């Protein structure tokens, strides 16, 4: 008899990658009740996910399992003791990526071999966007692989056509002119300033994120080398990105999203159990609260924090603002002064974002436009104020504002600071009594229904996920893969 289906899900160690990958892992378990899933990220990230279960001084090497042993967590090595540290200097990320790409394949190969020795052979590898080497690890063992694209299809389409020579020279020539317009197949005309920042800011080898540009280029090359067609799962739904999905190149593309939390995994890096903010929300009227969060990676200087809080206060609306602990530590001298400014709101270091967005009191989300945040907001039906910074965020904001019409985009000044007046203007535009605000809320409700239908039983994304699960089984049975 062939072995049970066993998906090895591999992901980069940032929270914005781990969350959608873990959500997909749980979806795979639900879609294939007899399947096994092994979830693997780096040792340092694994230790943050399971801090209470690590031995004293442990490095995150211990295995964890859930769902009766069907879901197992095994970390791989990135060649470092503590993982990537943002305070390591201007070349820290590029140095880390060199280590990650060197040690990662060896470690994952050893994990796959160890699983086979334990009687849990892997039959399909699923990997996220900064692990192109994962496909080679799978291929070396005769096992099929699939990329899980955790950004919008529009961004993938841009990368695909850029690295296949479409307007690449034009983008390079005009990369310092944010208003210059370029066209990609399947997409509306885009300005240079709205393209993924790795194509405009990181092509120079001296750039601090140059390795991200190189890795995405290598990823496209990897997909092109897969035969007969590379499989790409996309964390979007057919209805949200019709044109972009059709322009994703000669791949087997399956939109399976939005892949949202099914349990408590939205808080995988939850530092402490504190629900006081939920009690605070309970006391607020419906659609009255502004929720503000700029994600797990974005930094914030003193000037920006002052302007943000001033703008929120001037809006006259209650607000819940997430200021990460590392940001507060960096601004320790200003913390007391910051809290002195907070009259109408609550500032927290962390919150369960899905739980907050789902609360009836929340009427607006001021966001950096990370794709996870955008999908959660669309699926829950909360209009957005978009403040994009890097990577795919600018393109995500385009989708929110122009394609789905569920938000507005805030403009930063020449120094990149979001000023108080702009915060107030955008919050008023989304939460006010104007016809435009009413239309935003109406469209948010419409897209909430579309996403619910796509992800529900028999919806487009549900059918695509089932097709992937069934296809994974078929590939093995046809002998195209040998379990490892």
Active site residues: 17
Cα dihedral across residues 468, 255, 484, 135: positive or negative: positive
Q: Smallest Cα–Cα separation from 196: which of 483, 336, 469, 393?
A: 393
Q: What is the full DSSP assignment across 321-375? A: EE--HHHHHHTHHHHHHHHHH-SSEEEES---HHHHHTSTTEEEEEE---HHHHH
- Are the C-beta atoms of residues 8 and 40 closer than 8 Å to each other? yes
Distance CA 398, CA 371 (A): 12
How far apart CA 108 and CA 85 sit, in angstroms, is 22
Terminal alpha carbon distance of the chain: 15
Q: Between β-strands 64-66 and 71-73, what pairing exists: parallel, antiparallel or unpaired?
A: antiparallel
Alpha helices, DSSP H only, in 384-455? 393-398, 420-431, 435-455
User: What is the token pair recorded at 295?
Assistant: 């994600």
Question: Whole-angstrom Cα distance, residue 245 to residue 228?
Answer: 19
In the structure encoding, which two tokens stand for residue 360, read together? 């009836």
d(CA 341, CA 343): 6
Task: Tell whether the torsion through CA atoms of 392, 393, 396 and 398 is positive or negative.
Answer: negative
CA distances to 32, 55, 343, 394, 410 from 150, in Å: 21, 32, 37, 15, 24
| Cα–Cα distance, 63 to 371 (Å, whole number) | 29
- Measuring CA to CA, which residue among 126, 107, 112 is closest to residue 26? 126
Strand partners, 149: 234
> CA–CA distance from 314 to each of 208, 248, 416, 425 (Å)?
37, 44, 21, 10
Residue identified by tokens 């393109």 is 395
Residue with tokens 């990650």: 100
Q: Which whole-number Å values give the CA distances from 104 to 43, 85, 211, 358, in the listed order?
A: 11, 17, 15, 37
For 59, counting Cβ atoms within 10 Å of its Cβ (0-12 exposed, 13-18 middle, 19+ buried), the class is middle
């Amino acid at each position: 008899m062939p072995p049970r289906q066993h998906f090895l899900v591999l992901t980069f160690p940032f929270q914005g990658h781990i969350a959608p990958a873990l959500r997909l892992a749980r979806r795979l378990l639900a879609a294939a009740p007899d399947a096994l899933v092994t979830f693997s990220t780096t040792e340092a990230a694994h230790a943050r996910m399971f801090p209470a279960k690590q031995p004293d001084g442990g490095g995150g090497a211990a295995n964890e399992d859930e769902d009766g042993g069907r879901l197992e967590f095994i970390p791989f090595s990135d060649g470092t003791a503590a993982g990537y540290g943002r305070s390591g200097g201007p070349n820290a990320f590029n140095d880390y990526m060199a280590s990650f790409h060197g040690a990662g394949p060896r470690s994952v190969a050893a994990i796959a071999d160890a699983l086979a020795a334990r009687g849990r052979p892997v039959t399909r590898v699923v990997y996220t966007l900064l692990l192109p080497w994962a496909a080679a690890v799978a291929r070396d063992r005769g096992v099929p692989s699939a990329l899980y694209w955790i950004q919008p299809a529009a961004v993938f389409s841009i990368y695909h056509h850029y690295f296949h020579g479409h307007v690449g020279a034009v983008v390079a020539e005009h990369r310092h002119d944010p208003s210059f317009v370029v066209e990609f197949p399947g997409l509306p005309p885009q300005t240079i300033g709205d393209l993924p920042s790795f194509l405009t800011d990181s092509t120079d080898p001296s750039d601090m994120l140059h390795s991200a540009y190189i890795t995405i280029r290598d990823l496209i090359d990897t997909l092109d080398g897969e035969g007969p067609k590379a499989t790409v799962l996309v964390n979007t739904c057919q209805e949200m990105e019709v044109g972009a999905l059709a322009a994703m190149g000669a791949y087997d593309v399956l939109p399976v999203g939005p892949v949202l939390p099914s349990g408590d995994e939205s808080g995988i890096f939850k530092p402490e159990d504190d629900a006081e903010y939920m009690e605070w929300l309970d006391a607020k009227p419906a659609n009255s609260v502004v929720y503000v969060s700029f994600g797990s990676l974005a930094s914030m200087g003193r000037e920006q924090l002052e302007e943000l809080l001033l703008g929120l206060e001037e809006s006259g609306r209650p607000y819940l603002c997430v200021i990460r602990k590392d940001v507060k530590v960096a601004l320790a001298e200003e913390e007391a002064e910051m809290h002195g400014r907070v009259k109408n709101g609550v500032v927290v270091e962390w919150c369960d974002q899905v739980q907050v967005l789902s609360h009836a009191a929340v009427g607006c989300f001021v966001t950096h436009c990370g794709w996870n945040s955008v999908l959660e907001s669309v699926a829950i039906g909360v209009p957005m104020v978009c403040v994009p910074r890097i990577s795919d965020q600018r393109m995500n904001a385009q989708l929110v504002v122009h394609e789905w019409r569920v938000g507005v985009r805030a403009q930063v000044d020449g120094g990149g600071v979001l000023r108080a007046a702009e915060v107030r203007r955008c919050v008023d535009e989304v939460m006010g009594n104007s016809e435009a605000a009413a239309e935003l809320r109406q469209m948010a409700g419409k897209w909430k229904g579309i996403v619910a239908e796509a992800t529900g039983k028999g919806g487009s994304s549900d059918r695509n996920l089932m097709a992937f699960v069934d296809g994974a089984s078929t590939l093995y049975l046809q002998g195209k893969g040998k379990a490892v």
